[in-house]
Amino acid sequence: MTIICLLFAGILSGQTEKTIKLIPSWTKGDTKRFEITNSTNVVSNGIVQIKSLTTKTVALQVINVRSNTTDIEWKYENITFTDTISNKNPFSLLMNELNKGMTVKYSINGKGAIKSVTNYDEIYAKIKLKVDSALQVLSKNEKIDSSKMELIKFQYSMMFSSTEQIDKIALSDIFRFHQLYGYTFKTHQLTSIEDKIFAPKMSGPSDRSEIKLDSIDTIKQLYYLKGESRSPFLEKYMTKVTKNRSIKLLYIFKYPENWLVEHNYILTTGVGESPVKFDSNFRIRMIK
């Protein structure tokens, strides 16, 4: 009797198991608009030290669809940045408005993964111009001595010394947008995905997101996926504040075309006894 009950339970479990594969099914001329927000709060001993908010409006257009390649234009229409220390930190202002006026032309494969950025030279030239302009402004600041100025120039040059660095800084929004495409997700099983955006390039395991299909809304035709992101490197080597971090992930997709409707990346560190608490909320939301 016990064996029969177990077999019956297994059949019911199999019936409730849901599996989806996120493959974009887009057509030439499709246009979507998204709002991207990134808010950060740093609290020390109960006092807010840093509070910032970056808001970007993006227009995404499908330019062409071929057998195994889709060409896309991703245009930053507007960017606003507010920060409690923005007047004292021109570097922060530059990094948060780096995408301003930028159009990224890129191609994805049949699974939705990014194949190439076709106007990379143009993007690099615009970034370099912005960095050079920022350095000129800093060099006129009488409070910055020459030795410190040379250090700042060196830091800027290192940050933009390779295509990989530029990808992480200037193209991370697009990488996040396409991060789940091509993967299969189930309701009772986690899918592990390597974080190719912020994973440290050191020996050992890199950051990974573990995500499962949470539910399906058949009326609104939405997939809800939830999970967490982990960094074995940070958990092993960093301080107690970093070890206590939590990163929750939410993705919502509209099917059958599989457009991303919303993605939330919520990071919290410094929980427990730490006097410093850091909260960051990154969100992509379709607005049209």
Q: Token pair of 264, please?
A: 């939330």
pLDDT at 220 over 90: yes
* Whole-number pLDDT of residue 14: 44
* Mean pLDDT (whole number) for 46-64: 87
* Whole-number pLDDT of residue 274: 60
**pLDDT band of 11, cuts 50, 70, 90:** very low
Domain 17-286 indexed as CATH 2.30.230: yes
**pLDDT band of 59, cuts 50, 70, 90:** very high
* Whole-number pLDDT of residue 234: 64
Residues of the chain with pLDDT > 90, as a percent, come to 44
Residues of the chain with pLDDT > 70, as a percent, come to 77
pLDDT at 10 over 60: no
* Whole-number pLDDT of residue 271: 58
* Whole-number pLDDT of residue 13: 40
**pLDDT band of 243, cuts 50, 70, 90:** low
* Mean pLDDT (whole number) for 168-184: 90
* Whole-number pLDDT of residue 279: 82
* Whole-number pLDDT of residue 239: 61
Could you tell me if 75 and 173 are in contact, meaning their C-beta atoms sit under 8 angstroms apart? no
* Whole-number pLDDT of residue 212: 97
**pLDDT band of 131, cuts 50, 70, 90:** confident
* Whole-number pLDDT of residue 52: 84
Mean residue pLDDT across the chain: 82
pLDDT at 103 over 50: yes
